[in-house]
Amino acid sequence: MADIEDTNPADAALRAEVRAWLKANWAGDLPSDQDKWSLSAATRAWIADVFEAGWAVPTWPMEWFGRGLTQEQADIIDDEFARLGAPGARQDRSNLAANTMLAFGEDALKREMIPGLLKREIVQCLLYSEPAAGSDLAGVRTRAERDGDHYIINGQKVWTSGAAHAHYGMLLARTDWDVPKHRGLTFFFFPMKQPGVEVRPLRQITNESHFNEVFITGARVPAANIMGGLNNGWRVLQTALAYERSTMGARPRGARHSATSDDLLALARRYGGLTNPALRQDLAGVLALRKLNALNNARAKANLEQGTSSSVMSLGKLAMSRILHEEARVRTAIVGTESLLDGPDHPFADDTNFLAFNAYFTSIGGGTDQIQRNIISERVLGLPKDIEVDRDVPFRQVRSG
């Protein structure tokens, strides 16, 4: 990558500072971690160094571990870390839990939790969906009842990624049953490692078990762990979902055997597919969609203020879902009949099938493609909303099957 010349002296000084720090600290020898829930000690140590240097959340205020930089200045940091493939920077864009905590946590909770979240010492999961509340998260029935300085939690969550590793869960629970469904919810930072929390893995089509059912029976969470205030959980959830959708719209999972499988041009060269004009056209279409989606995500993130949500994030997530399915089709065409094989003895075929299966995760997780279309139609395009007959009914009176 060619050097970038900054016309602003302050920008040039910042770039020089980032480059000097990376030159002094980045060895480029981190192991390839299998998933984000069980990072290696070396990766955690590096991310801790990034945090201590102030690169983790550079747009945050200095009192909250940032540098108080503008988005444009922070993009310089992003550029320099990306040049070397170094992780850990710009979590002010990507760290769902830390960003939500900064916006809605009480100061004591933020000081206790944010450093661990940014250094990846604290693993968190999302306790939103339930068997009867997936597409309509406002219908959750997990119950939170006050008991002195704590709340007692009873209920069930499902499709919880990383629950077996998590120290805390971002829990949406019902605290008031006598108001309409959106107004009786509270958002908790819930301790997972305690009696009354049972995690059961769910086997996926990829033969992994990242998703889980979580059964909560009489477990406790301090009232001090409420984020955003009592019965204000729906607002907090919208911010958390915006960060989740922005991440899913920007960085899908990669192949598990070879980086060549992620690079469609490299894969096509390997299999001699670039001589096929129809395949070249498909490749050009996918690459154009990728570029367009990256520009849309950059626009959405630039407009996302701390503590808010952005409906435009749904565009990026929906687009990435469609892109991944289209890439799966093109990748299968490149690999050809070999894609009928599987396993480590056939790494490119295995990657092809793995990535095709994983495309469905993006179509479902963080709100299905259908939900994203509803959000886009109503909140971006301004089309009429669907009729919700139970929207203004006290939740205790809402019928359920």
The DSSP element (H or E) to which 144 belongs, if any, is strand 143-147
Place 2 in a pLDDT band, splitting at 50, 70 and 90.
very low
Model pLDDT, residue 386 = 81
Query: Average of pLDDT values for 35-49?
Result: 89
- pLDDT of 389 > 90? The answer is no
Structure tokens at 273: 């597919």
The proportion of the chain whose per-residue pLDDT surpasses 90, expressed as a percent, equals: 62
3-state secondary structure of 35: coil
Model pLDDT, residue 358 = 87
Model pLDDT, residue 304 = 60
Place 1 in a pLDDT band, splitting at 50, 70 and 90.
very low
- pLDDT of 379 > 90? The answer is no
Model pLDDT, residue 305 = 60
Q: Please tell me the distance from the alpha carbon of residue 136 to that of residue 340, in angstroms, as a whole number.
A: 38
- pLDDT of 180 > 60? The answer is yes
3-state secondary structure of 152: strand
Give the bridge partners for 394, in sequence order. 180
Apex CA 133: angle with CA 209 and CA 125, to 5°? 40
The proportion of the chain whose per-residue pLDDT surpasses 70, expressed as a percent, equals: 93
Give the bridge partners for 155, in sequence order. 216
- pLDDT of 245 > 70? The answer is yes
Domain 249-380 in the same topology as domain 124-230: no
Residue pair 81/90 in contact (Cβ under 8 Å)? The answer is yes
Topology of the domain covering 249-380:
Butyryl-CoA Dehydrogenase, subunit A; domain 3 (1.20.140)
Residue pair 128/172 in contact (Cβ under 8 Å)? The answer is yes
- pLDDT of 306 > 70? The answer is no
Give the dihedral of Cα atoms 355, 360, 365, 369; nearest 10 deg: 130
3-state secondary structure 172-213: EEECCCCCEHHHCEEEEEEECCCCCEEEEECCCCCCCCCCEE
Structure tokens at 357: 């299966």
Give which of 37, 65, 63 is closest to 51, Cα–Cα.
65
Buried b (16+ CB within 10 A) or exposed e, 60-95: beeebbbbebebebbbbbbebbeeeebbbbbbbbbb
Model pLDDT, residue 302 = 65
- 362 DSSP 8-state letter: H
> Looking at per-residue confidence, does 4 or 8 come out higher?
8
Lowest mean pLDDT among 166-170, 208-212, 252-256: 252-256
Model pLDDT, residue 368 = 85
3-state secondary structure of 97: helix
Query: Average of pLDDT values for 22-41?
Result: 84
- pLDDT of 295 > 70? The answer is yes
Q: Please tell me the distance from the alpha carbon of residue 350 to that of residue 343, in angstroms, as a whole number.
A: 5
Structure tokens at 113: 């939790």
Topology of the domain covering 124-230:
Butyryl-CoA Dehydrogenase, subunit A; domain 2 (2.40.110)
- pLDDT of 308 > 60? The answer is no
> Looking at per-residue confidence, does 294 or 221 come out higher?
221
Residue pair 33/45 in contact (Cβ under 8 Å)? The answer is no
Structure tokens at 147: 């008991």
Model pLDDT, residue 292 = 86
Structure tokens at 222: 């301090």
Cα dihedral 368, 180, 381, 296 sign: negative
Model pLDDT, residue 301 = 65
Lowest mean pLDDT among 176-185, 336-345, 357-366: 357-366
Structure tokens at 321: 């879902």
3-state secondary structure of 331: helix
Could you list the active site residues? Answer: 244
Q: Please tell me the distance from the alpha carbon of residue 6 to that of residue 381, in angstroms, as a whole number.
A: 38
Domain positions in the chain are 15-94, 124-230, 249-380
Q: Please tell me the distance from the alpha carbon of residue 137 to that of residue 98, in angstroms, as a whole number.
A: 22
